[in-house]
Amino acid sequence: MNAAFSSAAVNPNSTPTNSVFLPHKYSKTSARAEAGISVPRKRRDFSQTQLSVHGIPCTHLLVHEIVQRQSQKNNSSTSLDACPNPSSHPMFLEEAYERCKDICAENAKTFYLGTQLMTEERKKAIWAIYVWCRRTDELVDGPNAVHLTSAVLDRWEERLENIFNGRPYDMLDATLADTVHKFPLDIKPFKDMIEGMRMDTRKNRYANFQELYLYCYYVAGTVGLMSVPVMGIAPESSLSAQTIYNAALYLGIGNQLTNILRDVGEDASRGRVYLPQDELEKFGLCDKDVFSRKVTEGWREFMKEQIRRARFFFDLAEEGANQLHKASRWPVWSSLMLYRMILDSIEKNDYDNLTKRAYVGRTKKLMALPVAYAKALSSPRTTPPWQSC
Ligand SMILES: CC(C)=CCC/C(C)=C/CC/C(C)=C/CC/C(C)=C/[C@@H]1[C@@H](COP(=O)(O)OP(=O)(O)O)[C@]1(C)CC/C=C(\C)CC/C=C(\C)CCC=C(C)C
Ligand SMILES: [Mn+2]
């Protein structure tokens, strides 16, 4: 845990120069309190508002640093023609990207469908990132996870560095090497995801939401940070890049919190409880209640709070979705809406996520797609939310 905290991107001891933005619209006391999140009430300066959980500044994520490094890359004079990617034999790369496409299509149908409206270069890049994330997760959760040692993760990190230095190890790594060559991606979110996997191997209880949030940032918030440089920010957007990156990060957090709530029963059978221990206690619950799989009134009330918090993060993410490049908005809205529907499904199961797995049927999923599309059509806000009310 301490090693995890020492990461430069998530360092609670660093000066919170970045401030995680919370739109005024969401600063209603009830919503914040229910989500266990507080924001200084009188501050209206968007850039000064800091998110905190239970009074503790919860994200000292130096998203700011990542944004800066990525925009520097964006503005750099290196042109693709002037500096061809050394690992890129066109035929070889085409085949490798095809493989990424198949992996994405097989394992993440919604993400895959969402990429269909994106430009050729962007969709290939998202598939490459998807595959790298999936492979990273497989190290901890896949069939060979029993053989996982810290050396394996160290080696995976070394391979990542080689990818960023243009020296990929295999054909799938080559697609990511090509992607980081074409888009202004920073290595930090990728390294942080590996750190999240390390955390998962060392830790199976989370004392409070702050600890859980950190885990969610590592394994999912990072995906948002990796995706924005590929998806692109709308040229007409008037929000700061950092605000948009924060929204992307919140989508990852909301997704992961939802994953966790859906999988409570399944995780319990592996001896894992990804729920804040202090909040369980507040509802008179403990690990034993999770393992006994009895859905009591206390459990239902506890779950209501957890669901409310996940929805809160989706609401925050919504602010950023239409700030992305037009062609990238639909996949983001689709994933946001479909994940939200998992929360609805937990409610429909009367909060039984101990013996049942929340499921969203195919028809419901299909019906959400045109709605997501319509949402993606609206123009990005030109005035920040706190000025429009
Ligand atoms: C401004 C704004 C709102 C921008 C949007 C930015 C954006 C595209 C954010 C995407 C966020 C996202 C999809 C996060 C994924 C979170 C996730 C599901 C993480 C999973 C971690 C581990 O969980 P666990 O082990 O509990 O779960 P499993 O049982 O194993 O499923 C992950 C598995 C980590 C690995 C993540 C992936 C494999 C997904 C990577 C996805 C992409 C790169 C595609 C994102 C793009 C689209 C089209 C939405
Ligand atoms: Mn996993």
Two structure tokens written together for 29 = 């006391």
Around Cβ 177, how many Cβ atoms within 10 Å? 24
CA dist., res. 309 & res. 325, Å (int): 28
Two structure tokens written together for 124 = 């290939």
Question: What's the CA-to-centroid distance between 223 and ligand 1, angstroms?
Answer: 6
| Across 63-67, 311-315, 324-328, least confident range | 63-67
For 43-80, what is each residue's pLDDT tens digit? Answer: 322 233 345 544 444 554 557 777 777 767 765 544 44
**Cβ of residue 252 lying under 6 Å from some atom of ligand 1:** yes
The number of the ligand nearest the C-alpha atom of 330 reads: 1
Check whether 303 has a pLDDT greater than 50: yes
Check whether 349 has a pLDDT greater than 60: yes
Mutate to test the pocket of ligand 1, among 203, 218, 227 (most ligand atoms within 8 A of CB): 227
Check whether 125 has a pLDDT greater than 50: yes
Predicted confidence band at 218 (pLDDT cuts at 50, 70, 90)? very high
Question: What pLDDT sits at residue 97?
Answer: 97
Question: What pLDDT sits at residue 88?
Answer: 61
Predicted confidence band at 383 (pLDDT cuts at 50, 70, 90)? low
Check whether 211 has a pLDDT greater than 50: yes
Question: What pLDDT sits at residue 18?
Answer: 31
Average pLDDT over residues 327-354: 96
- Locate the ligand 1 atom nearest the alpha carbon of residue 335 and give its number: 49
Average pLDDT over residues 325-341: 94
Strand 37-38, strand 273-276: pairing: unpaired
Torsion over CA: 14, 15, 18, 21 (sign): positive
Average pLDDT over residues 363-367: 92
**Cβ of residue 301 lying under 6 Å from some atom of ligand 1:** no
Residue nearest to atom 16 of ligand 1 (CA): 220
DSSP string, 10-57: B-TTS---S-----GGG--HHHHHHTTEE--SS---GGG---EETTEE
Question: What pLDDT sits at residue 381?
Answer: 65
The number of the ligand nearest the C-alpha atom of 199 reads: 1
Question: What pLDDT sits at residue 66?
Answer: 77
Q: Is 153:199 a contact under the CB 8 Å cutoff? A: no
Question: What pLDDT sits at residue 198?
Answer: 97
Check whether 161 has a pLDDT greater than 60: yes
Question: What pLDDT sits at residue 152?
Answer: 97
Residue nearest to atom 33 of ligand 1 (CA): 137
| Full-model pTM | 0.84
Question: What pLDDT sits at residue 330?
Answer: 93
CATH 1.10.600.10 residue ranges for the chain: 63-75+205-389, 87-202
Average pLDDT over residues 305-332: 96
Check whether 215 has a pLDDT greater than 80: yes
CA dist., res. 285 & res. 279, Å (int): 8
Around Cβ 145, how many Cβ atoms within 10 Å? 14
Residues with CB under 5 A from ligand 2 (ion): 137, 141
Question: What's the CA-to-centroid distance between 291 and ligand 2, angstroms?
Answer: 20
Q: Is 311:340 a contact under the CB 8 Å cutoff? A: yes
Average pLDDT over residues 196-219: 97
Burial 48-72 (b: 16+ CB within 10 A, else e): ebbbbbeeeebbbbbbbbbbeebee
CA dist., res. 20 & res. 60, Å (int): 8
Question: What's the CA-to-centroid distance between 288 and ligand 2, angstroms?
Answer: 24
Question: What's the CA-to-centroid distance between 141 and ligand 2, angstroms?
Answer: 5
CATH architecture of residue range(s) 63-75+205-389? Orthogonal Bundle (1.10)
Question: What's the CA-to-centroid distance between 42 and ligand 1, angstroms?
Answer: 34
Question: What pLDDT sits at residue 14?
Answer: 31
Amino acid found at 18: N
Torsion over CA: 114, 261, 39, 386 (sign): positive
| Across 51-55, 92-96, 126-130, 239-243, least confident range | 51-55
Strand 56-57, strand 52-53: pairing: antiparallel
For residue 358, the Cα-to-chain-centroid distance in whole angstroms is 20
Residue nearest to atom 41 of ligand 1 (CA): 130
| Across 37-41, 249-253, 355-359, least confident range | 37-41
The CATH superfamily assigned to 87-202 is Farnesyl Diphosphate Synthase (1.10.600.10)
Question: What's the CA-to-centroid distance between 328 and ligand 1, angstroms?
Answer: 15
Identify which of 344, 345, 337 has the alpha carbon closest to the alpha carbon of residue 367.
Answer: 337
CA dist., res. 226 & res. 188, Å (int): 9
Question: What pLDDT sits at residue 117?
Answer: 86
Question: What pLDDT sits at residue 65?
Answer: 79
Identify which of 286, 323, 316, 324 has the alpha carbon closest to the alpha carbon of residue 302.
Answer: 286
To the nearest whole percent, how much of the chain has pLDDT over 70?
77
Question: What pLDDT sits at residue 26?
Answer: 28
CA dist., res. 203 & res. 215, Å (int): 10
Predicted confidence band at 380 (pLDDT cuts at 50, 70, 90)? confident
Average pLDDT over residues 193-197: 98
Average pLDDT over residues 130-135: 98
For the chain, what is the mean pLDDT? 83
Question: What's the CA-to-centroid distance between 221 and ligand 2, angstroms?
Answer: 14
